[in-house]
Structure 1
């Protein structure tokens, strides 16, 4: 009978063989997602702990436990990154379904978005510069409020560090969902359109997931906020950063 150690050694050998293909990275990512989602539901769907946090923790633990090279995992998981673009485009469906609500809020959206999106970039750059951050760090933090599919493209232009950029996106999304929840309670804001737009504008995909948990209307406005913020930032940030 095989000893536990022998079985574990065979598992490690198999994982390192599969690491040369995308199969292992994709399987690990999907497994971490379902495990994290189960944890999220089991503890009552708390605002302060969206599924992406336990998923990242579980995934990091698996990489460390199996002794995998993080670069090998990233190369394999790039196949999943290809789905970010279509997933973002698919958000046009709830937008179309709620077009009457969007038309009713046209001017508040037009007036709010440029101010909020500009401030999200400006205060980040000013604080990082005041603390003596390098240009690479500043470039990695500046697109923090933009969905990953667009932020990675911006990062290529302005010279971001991909790991640092992804960490900034994660922290911003989690922090936004918590802050919006607290702010809406303190200010007694119940309009799902306003809540959804705030989540998407500041919290990108993570905020949008939270918005869809509230309602389809909140999710549609979050999708709109996320898309418009990405477009506005993609046009503004390269010019502003170079300047």
Structure 2
């Protein structure tokens, strides 16, 4: 098994992911929102890249809520923003969430040609690593990045996933994967590293410190959502709560 990393969704092509197990990461905050929503009983999450696409799908689905952000802020007319703390069991259970974000949902869409697409973050790092280890294909970790650029928060999350994978099985690492692993091993206090990230500062300046705190928790959930044919769900047999 070989593990590679794509530094942003903009760096993903069909050839890069084809035949591989893909783990998409947008720690701050889209994949954390997706995981949290499904933990709290959402029926599905439909990631879309534009507001217009989301509004169109809404007309064809039942029990729909709209969530997402542009420039880290809630979209006008949407039910929720991109804050995982908003997606409580009371508001999301039994609902289909249509989600559009600047980086995360684009990275998921760009990864659609992978053999399978797993949704990962710090909150489910050990679980998603264990799931990926159960397959024979090479792994590519797709970091959502920030506006097409490298993002420190996704990079160190990738390192955390690689650490968990190597605890379960042997794997060959590309240079960028080795660098992510070393970054994580040298910054087990993840906040000390992530606080230097541009994306961290943007969220902090917007008063979203509680979101950051939530997203930087490691291994609080044991589910692994999967993206297939345009929809993210829990595979049959997975329960939504620990």
Larger Rg: 1
Q: Which has the higher strand share?
A: 2
TM-score relative to the length of structure 1: 0.22
Q: Which has the higher helix share?
A: 1
TM-score relative to the length of structure 2: 0.22
Q: Identify the structure with bigger relative contact order (alpha carbons < 8 Å, sequence gap 6+).
A: 2
